Chains A and B, each alone.
Chain A
């Protein structure tokens, strides 16, 4: 089964759970005065879940046929390992790490580390250029966001609050 039909199957499962919630469990806590309303919070989700289940079945069962010509895909997922998959996964991991460390480690440190580590994962080895670039970028972006846009970003790690 091709990837697009697997995706349709997953969407079908999600929509079925969604539809089950809309049809059977959501209305239980509905206060009586709302029940006289023609529109319940579950009305729209009910309609959507039915339509989505029908559509995902159409895609899953391949009822709609294309004109036969396969477009050359931008990336052939069947040969994913031919691409730089390791780099992509490592960078995604780095993004997750950034999300987790942004608050505790402060903006300046996490951003510099993120930029330097990101470039290093991609194969950059000229650290004497990379580290200054990372530092300058982190500093100037912090200045722009904090001073020009007026959005607070905690610059320093958690143990230095107020120490800036």
Chain B
């Protein structure tokens, strides 16, 4: 491991890569602050840039920096104007915005920055410990287990969608898998479901789809509802210091939530949003009575908890991506797509084949966290000026960057029409409360899922691999349980509420 760390330090500390981290963090903070652009949209927009860099570690470092920056920027806009740019910072606004209204915006930003820093750093340390362990276990996996593992990952994503939503999330996942079968598969050299359209021969473009699923609907929502981008009067930000007592009271909160957030982030489908809400809820429950009353009215603990948790969770979500090659969230799914475009296949072999990529990314996470703390915190009053960009200018630019992202990758104007078409479909799906991240994850995993499935089918000459490999069987059973359990529990709760005896 030490050897790996040294490789990582050597590669991450090159001038280019440090510039990548700085640039990524700044861009991420900048755009993440804008209402309506979350980490997924920003990363999707940055992918063409990252791909043209060519060097996979530099590209991944840039994208990871953007990811952190976006989360940090999102919390800034939650604190200052109560407009979370990102779902995972909604919990931050519960206590952050009240602090701003009390005139303590500077303090709130400092608490958020410190919590994010610790959360991210602890996450990176845990990642460094867990990822190699998990990767060495994963090396024992064959294609049959990979297939089963991906099924588990996809069902977990559907299962975490919440009550009444599992069916919809599963449907979206399946739709993503179906969309992945369009075009020419590597396995058969035979176009499928192209309906004779030449432009579909190579399948749907992944960046186009990512833009259409996230950036475009968000922009359309901004147009439809002007209140979403309402930027209040920017408050004067002064006095960034926090007192010793406050530091003492938030230290244990940050510690607990960093670890808890990391563990939540590792779970597929959970991610930073759930981690931040869970962190907030847990801390409120274990706080003393008088502190509990302060939650929601500007408690520093209530601000520190979600911030530490969401940053740790972001780091945690890299574990399944880097070790198993399975993304647990929409954002990591987009990163996976970018890696594949750069000719890197994440998975347990990554640590063996390309250790410099793996370790450089981890080391750059530390650097990214330090940069967010020392560079962005003093700059925040100036960066916050971006919130004053008028909506009339902002929206055409968001739309334009969405179009450019899809165009640059393919240099094909048909791609833009597909983008608009899918964007409209995605907006309608969002109206009806269908989750869109599962669709993209399904789309990205679809081809790998089919390849692994095909390989096991060929090795075992049929479906018998499911029965002959206990681990595959176990994983598939787990996937089935994950899908069925939420609706079973909901049904039981309903029966109990109706007063029907349920036997136990």
Contacts and interface: CB of A to CB of B under 8 A. Distances in A.
Interface of A: 2-4, 6-8, 11, 15, 18, 21, 26, 34, 37-39, 41, 43-45, 48-49, 51-52, 55-56, 58-59, 63-67, 71, 73-75, 77, 80, 83-85, 87-88, 91-92, 94-96, 98-100, 102-103, 111, 114-115, 118-119, 122-124, 130, 133, 137, 141, 145, 149-152
B166 interface: yes
Nearest to A83: B224
A122 B433 contact: no
A56 to B, nearest CB: 6
A111 B407 CA distance: 13
Contacts of B185: 41
Contact of B458 (A15, A39, A118): A39
A8 B171 contact: yes
Given A44-B450, A152-B411, A84 B434 contact: no
Contacts of A118: 395-396, 399-400
B171 A52 contact: yes
Interface residues of B, number: 69
B428 A119 contact: no
Interface string B46-82: 0011001000000000000000000000000000000
A4 B404 contact: no
Nearest to A138: B400
Going nearest first, the 9 A-B pairs with the smallest beta carbon separation are A66-B164, A118-B396, A99-B416, A4-B432, A124-B392, A77-B431, A83-B224, A52-B174, A39-B457
A contacts with B: majority SS: helix
A163 B214 CA distance: 39
Contact of A59 (B52, B168, B190): B168
A149 B403 contact: no
B170 interface: yes
B7 interface: no
Contacts of A87: 223-224
B192 A59 contact: no
Contacts of B128: none
A119 B392 contact: yes
23 contacts: A7-B432, A39-B453, A41-B190, A43-B454, A48-B178, A64-B166, A65-B490, A65-B494, A66-B165, A67-B163, A75-B430, A84-B226, A88-B220, A91-B223, A91-B395, A92-B220, A95-B416, A98-B403, A102-B413, A118-B395, A119-B395, A141-B404, A145-B408
B487 interface: yes
Interface string B255-293: 000000000000000000000000000000000000000
A7 B428 contact: yes
Interface of B: 48-49, 52, 163-168, 170-171, 174-175, 177-178, 181, 185, 187-188, 190, 192-193, 220-221, 223-226, 390-393, 395-397, 399-400, 403-404, 407-408, 411, 413-414, 416-417, 419-420, 423-424, 428-434, 450, 453-454, 457-458, 461-462, 487, 490-491, 493-494
B428 A92 contact: no
A4 B423 CA distance: 17
B315 to A, nearest CB: 28
A55 B419 CA distance: 26
B416 A98 contact: yes
Interface centre among A8, A11, A37, A95 (most CB of B within 10 A): A95
Contacts of A99: 403, 413-414, 416-417, 419-420
A2 B416 contact: no
B400 A111 contact: yes
Contact of B432 (A3, A38, A45, A49): A3
Contact of A4 (B175, B192, B434, B454): B434
Nearest to A151: B408
Given A4-B168, A4-B433, A84-B226, 17 more contacts: A11-B171, A44-B454, A45-B181, A51-B174, A52-B171, A65-B164, A73-B433, A74-B430, A92-B420, A95-B399, A95-B403, A98-B416, A99-B419, A114-B396, A115-B400, A119-B395, A124-B390
Contacts of B494: 65
A114 to B, nearest CB: 6
Contacts of B170: 55
A6 B488 CA distance: 25
Contacts of B163: 66-67
A96 B433 CA distance: 26
A52 B396 contact: no
A92 B171 contact: no
Contacts of B171: 8, 11, 52, 55-56, 59
Contacts of A4: 168, 432-434
Contacts of B395: 91, 118-119, 122
Contacts of B187: 39, 41
Nearest to A7: B432
Contacts of B458: 37-39
A95 B393 CA distance: 16
A5 to B, nearest CB: 9
A119 to B, nearest CB: 5
B396 A119 contact: yes
Contact of B49 (A34, A88, A149): A149
B164 A64 contact: yes
B365 to A, nearest CB: 25
Contacts of A114: 396, 399-400
Contacts of A38: 457-458, 461-462
A7 B434 contact: yes
Interface centre among B49, B52, B393 (most CB of A within 10 A): B393
A27 B30 CA distance: 52
B142 to A, nearest CB: 16
B391 to A, nearest CB: 7
A2 B420 CA distance: 25
A130 B431 CA distance: 32
